[in-house]
Structure 1
Amino acid sequence: MSVDRRSTMLALGTARYVTMSLIALVLLLPLIWLVVSSLRPPADIFAHGSRLGWSMLIPDRLTLENYTSLIGTGFPRAVGNSLFVALTTMVVGVVVNAAAGFAFAVFDFRFKNVIFAFVLAAAMMPFEAIVIPLYILVQSLGLIDTYAALILPDLANGFVIFMFRQFFAGLPRELYEAARVDGASWGHIWLKIALPISWPVVLTGGIMLFMHQFEAFFWPLVATPSPEHTVVQVAIARNISLEGTEWGRLFSSTTLAGLVALVPFLLFQKFYIRNFVTSGLK
């Protein structure tokens, strides 16, 4: 490779990364402003909001008042409620959806395709269309204002079932048949053979279930009205009322909720990428 060609490629690579960095910075500006505003005194939050400049991103005064004021508002309990609901849904939901996906991929039973079509249709249906019958069902079971009301309706997820079904259907049929010849039960095959090699789907589906529950607002607002079962998104929204908006608490609570939601990605990112690359090589 000539020196001129190497210099040209280096210049193009540098220009590309600079362009991508500038685009990323522009896209992140609202988030940066949100975090910076959560560290400003409430009186200074909109003091520099009328003009674009460094004063919008560099606060004159820093304070933790907006964060410390959340301690007595029930926000820490709301975060704990959301984590409990989201983690429980993630763990139990992965098992439920993996079992359903395995059944659709491996077994032949009557009306299988019709049932699978209903599963996908339910996943694509707007939640607002089913909230009333779902509320009536949960109320008839006596589960209103309980953790079960938040967890049970979201254990089965059509998109996660679809991902597991596609993965298990792509495995060689001979793998299942060889295990059956050796005397393994279908439960053993699913638990010991199919599930351990489906880690990319497990991690992806688990993160989807976690994020869906952690970001849930409408159903928790309807199904769990008491403060004891308030989740984080409802707690954030309660900073807005007819009397006014607590902007400092709104920004600080939103920042904390975003940081908590970021944890699963930081924990599982390397495992997901490693398993995804390995499965691709195989």
Structure 2
Amino acid sequence: MSVLAFVVVCPLAWLAIASLRPQSEIFQPIADFGWGTLIPSRITLDNYRALWAGEFPLAVKNSTIVAVSTVAFGLIVNALAGFAFAVFDFRGKNLLFVLVIASFMMPFEAIVMPLYVMIRAFGWTNNYKALIVPEIANGMIIFLFRQFFASIPKDFYEAARVDGASWLYIWARIAMPLSWPTIATSSLMLFLSQWDSFFWPVVAASSPEYAVVQVAIARNINFEQSDWGGLFASTNVAILLGTIPFLLMQRFYIRSLISGGIK
């Protein structure tokens, strides 16, 4: 395990250290692997200063807006759908649930073109709506909520109905407060999915005004020149910001996956 941990951590450590080297020295000590490869002779923050003086802060802002908005709307939509599948019996329920499951097994690349045509018809290109709305409904999140709500004894729901509670009240005041592990897991999955998103933002919002973190990172490399210092620095910042919510909610993530029946 120690050897495997070293193999995994070593490239990440080199990435972090390389971002602290001057541009001219980033690849200099690689030819002869040794302590000089991991320990820089000179440490500088110039790469990070240049990063925050450019367009990267705007990309962080855009990714944060897109990710947080997707989490907020996604929790409501997916939780309501999961509640309907778990509690109600209606015609075509099983078929619809099979389609929901199939939706998160389908490669996103297979639906990019029709999705772009739809977004363009709505006039949403180069807009936050193009980045947020298509990612709100998520088959995996619906599945997790459905599994959790189905595990709640129906006596809870029936007792509330006898007292005159509406189904929306039952969902908001009984089902949702009990589902905090699933809420935390769903929030984390939606957030990281949007934080790591690259292909769809390039297609739907190519304007620099709406560039997200992953697109901003990729712009450090082009056919004419490569800003390796900026690439490594921006990658480290993106990893760090994306790791914080995972560290805060990882125990809920594991608990929800187990209780959701994925095992």
TM-score, with structure 2 as normaliser: 0.94
Partner of 2:48: 67
Deviations 1:112-150 (A, max 9, x none): 111111111111111111001000101111111100100
Deviations 1:5-41 (A, max 9, x none): xxxxxxxxxxxxxxx3443233111100000000000
Cα distance in 2 for residues equivalent to 1:82 and 1:51 = 39
Partner of 1:116: 97
Deviations 1:222-275 (A, max 9, x none): 100111100000000001101021100000000000111012123334666799
Q: Which amino acid aligns with 2:69?
A: T
Q: Which amino acid aligns with 2:214?
A: Q
Cα distance in 2 for residues equivalent to 1:276 and 1:96 = 20
Q: Which amino acid aligns with 1:169?
A: A
Partner of 2:207: 226
Among residues 177, 195, 201, which one is paired with 1:196 in the alignment?
A: 177
Q: CA deviation at 1:46?
A: 0.5
The answer on whether the counterparts of 1:200 and 1:276 sit within 8 Å (CA) in structure 2 is no
Among residues 227, 244, 252, which one is paired with 2:233 in the alignment?
A: 252
Partner of 1:23: 4
Give the match's secondary structure for 1:67: helix
The answer on whether the counterparts of 1:138 and 1:149 sit within 8 Å (CA) in structure 2 is yes
Q: Which amino acid aligns with 2:201?
A: P
Cα distance in 2 for residues equivalent to 1:272 and 1:226 = 34
Deviations 1:34-93 (A, max 9, x none): 000000001111111123221111000000011111133311100110011001111211
Q: Which amino acid aligns with 1:32?
A: A
Confirm whether residue 76 of structure 1 aligns to residue 57 of structure 2.
yes
Cα distance in 2 for residues equivalent to 1:270 and 1:117 = 29
The answer on whether the counterparts of 1:93 and 1:156 sit within 8 Å (CA) in structure 2 is yes
Q: Which amino acid aligns with 2:56?
A: F
The answer on whether the counterparts of 1:199 and 1:272 sit within 8 Å (CA) in structure 2 is no
The answer on whether the counterparts of 1:123 and 1:158 sit within 8 Å (CA) in structure 2 is yes
Partner of 1:167: 148
The answer on whether the counterparts of 2:63 and 2:195 sit within 8 Å (CA) in structure 1 is yes
Q: CA deviation at 1:109?
A: 1.0
- Answer with 1 or 2: which has the greater Rg: 1
Deviations 1:161-211 (A, max 9, x none): 000001111111111111111111100110000000101110011100000
5+ residue gaps, structure 2, are: none
Q: Which amino acid aligns with 2:21?
A: R
Among residues 101, 125, 128, which one is paired with 1:147 in the alignment?
A: 128
Cα distance in 1 for residues equivalent to 2:179 and 2:33 = 48
Matches within 5 A, 1:93-108: 93-108=74-89
Once the two structures are aligned, what percentage of the paired residues are identical? Answer: 55
Partner of 2:186: 205
Q: CA deviation at 1:95?
A: 1.3
The answer on whether the counterparts of 2:217 and 2:235 sit within 8 Å (CA) in structure 1 is yes
Partner of 1:52: 33
Confirm whether residue 238 of structure 1 aligns to residue 219 of structure 2.
yes
Query: Which shifted more, 264-273 or 243-252?
Result: 264-273
Q: Which amino acid aligns with 1:226?
A: S
Cα distance in 2 for residues equivalent to 1:74 and 1:115 = 43
